[in-house]
């Protein structure tokens, strides 16, 4: 019988994590799982717990929280894999604000179907990204994507909102960012063999499909195709950014003349003039970096998903 190690971030979703614990325990018992549940106590604790749980022989390590918690669990499992070649299968239960990683891999947002997916045998092998630079010169893994520029400022502003949750917080953050981050840095972007030099208000490097709970940065993105999907936005006026926002929500921004989309296995972004605020899965990589390098690691980790998400 599988053993499950369940890691709950109690402060995820502005405290929704701790409130969800009785519901999570009830649903896990209802589907007959053998599990041990622990709560995180500090930043990066979920990564430490995940690495140890994998080393201790747990079959599945479950993230209960949002994208930040899932990112830490992913990093812990990858560290375990790097150490001895083995890591537990990953599971995700959504409690956070954005849940963009879960959306990209096909994990249900609601707890009941999420627990049913954990109890099933449907495992999907997914790619894992790795970004280095800024505060992480030795690299940090990511499951969903890296944002450079405008969308990082959006995340910073969304986090400041104490009484607004979910996609609404990111939407308000985007409206505020229009007035805070409007001069695009001049960047050099190297994608495999192609080099681009331009002013870029935003560079999105995606393994998944969505950021900010509703902005489809890579509407056709797949987490198991061995490619990173890039979305680059050139210099725009404030009015131009505002006009583009509905397109990002629909995933139709690719036809706009200021947008460049492409795929690559490796990406390097260097600031020639200006600096690079950046995040990975919503976690800050740097506030004013000079260079970031990202790569995709194909089919590097396995995750439990509903049957219909295995081949999606």
Kindly report, residue by residue over 128-163, the tens digit of the pLDDT. 999 999 999 999 999 999 999 998 998 888 878 877
How many percent of the chain have pLDDT more than 70? Answer: 99
Q: Are residues 136 and 114 in the same domain?
A: no
Q: What is the mean pLDDT of the chain?
A: 93
Q: Which domain holds residue 204?
A: 131-298
Q: Are residues 137 and 116 in the same domain?
A: no
Distance CA 38, CA 258 (A): 46
Q: How many domains does the chain have?
A: 2
Rounded Cα gap, residues 212 and 234, in angstroms: 20
**CB-based contacts of 46, cutoff 8 Å, min separation 6:** 7, 9, 40, 63, 65, 69, 72, 73, 76
Taking the C-alpha atoms of residue 52 and residue 266, their distance in angstroms, rounded to an integer, is 30
Do 222 and 172 belong to one domain? Answer: yes
* Predicted structure pTM score: 0.94
Q: What percent of the chain has pLDDT over 90?
A: 79
If you average pLDDT over residues 254-263, what whole number do you get?
96
Give dist(CA 291, CA 268) in Å, integer. 7
Q: What is the pLDDT of residue 160?
A: 81
Looking at the fold, whether 217 and 194 belong to one and the same domain comes out as yes
DSSP state of 33: -
Specify if 293 maps to a domain: yes
Give the pLDDT of residue 162.
Answer: 74
Q: Is the distance from CB of 294 to CB of 281 less than 8 angstroms? A: no
pLDDT of 312: 56
Residue with tokens 């997916």: 117
User: pLDDT-derived band of residue 3, with 50, 70 and 90 as boundaries?
Assistant: very high
My answer on whether 251 and 216 are in the same domain is yes
**311 is a domain residue:** no
Q: 214 and 113 in one domain? A: no
> Does residue 142 form part of some domain?
yes
Q: Which two tokens stand for residue 197?
A: 């030099």
The pLDDT tens digits of the residues spanning 154-190 come to 888 887 887 777 788 888 888 888 877 778 999 999 9
Give the mean model confidence (pLDDT) for residues 32-43: 97
Alpha-helix runs per DSSP H in the chain = 12-30, 45-55, 67-84, 100-105, 111-119, 150-159, 166-180, 238-250
Mean pLDDT over residues 241-254, rounded?
94
Residues 223-238, mean pLDDT to the nearest whole number: 96
**The pLDDT value given to residue 146:** 98
CATH of the domain at 18: 3.40.50.10330
């Amino acid at each position: 019988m599988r053993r499950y190690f369940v890691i709950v971030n109690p402060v995820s979703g502005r405290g929704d994590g701790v409130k969800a614990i009785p519901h999570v325990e009830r649903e896990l018992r209802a589907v007959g799982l053998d599990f041990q549940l622990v709560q995180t106590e500090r930043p990066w604790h979920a990564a430490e717990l995940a690495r140890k749980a994998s080393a201790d022989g747990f079959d599945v390590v479950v993230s209960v929280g949002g994208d930040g918690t899932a990112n830490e669990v992913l990093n812990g499992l990858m560290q375990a894999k790097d150490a001895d070649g083995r890591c537990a299968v990953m599971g995700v239960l959504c409690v956070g604000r954005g849940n963009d990683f879960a959306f990209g891999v096909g994990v249900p947002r609601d707890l009941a179907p999420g627990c049913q997916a954990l109890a099933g045998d449907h495992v999907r092998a997914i790619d894992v990204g790795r970004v280095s630079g800024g505060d992480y010169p030795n690299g940090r893994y990511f499951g969903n994507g890296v944002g450079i520029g405008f969308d990082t400022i959006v995340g910073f502003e969304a986090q400041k909102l104490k009484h607004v949750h979910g996609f609404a917080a990111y939407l308000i953050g985007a409206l505020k960012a229009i007035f805070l981050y409007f001069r695009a840095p001049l960047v050099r972007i190297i994608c495999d063999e192609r080099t681009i030099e331009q002013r870029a208000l935003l560079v999105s490097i995606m393994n998944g499909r969505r950021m900010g709970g509703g902005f489809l940065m890579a509407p056709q993105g797949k987490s198991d195709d061995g490619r990173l999907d890039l979305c680059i936005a050139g210099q725009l006026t404030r009015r131009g950014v505002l006009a583009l926002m509905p397109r990002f929500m629909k995933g139709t921004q690719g036809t706009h003349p200021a947008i460049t989309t492409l795929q690559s296995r490796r990406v390097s972004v260097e600031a020639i003039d200006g600096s690079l605020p950046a995040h990975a899965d919503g976690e800050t990589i740097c506030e004013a970096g000079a260079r970031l390098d990202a790569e995709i690691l194909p089919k590097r980790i396995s995750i439990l998903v509903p049957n219909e998400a295995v081949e999606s």
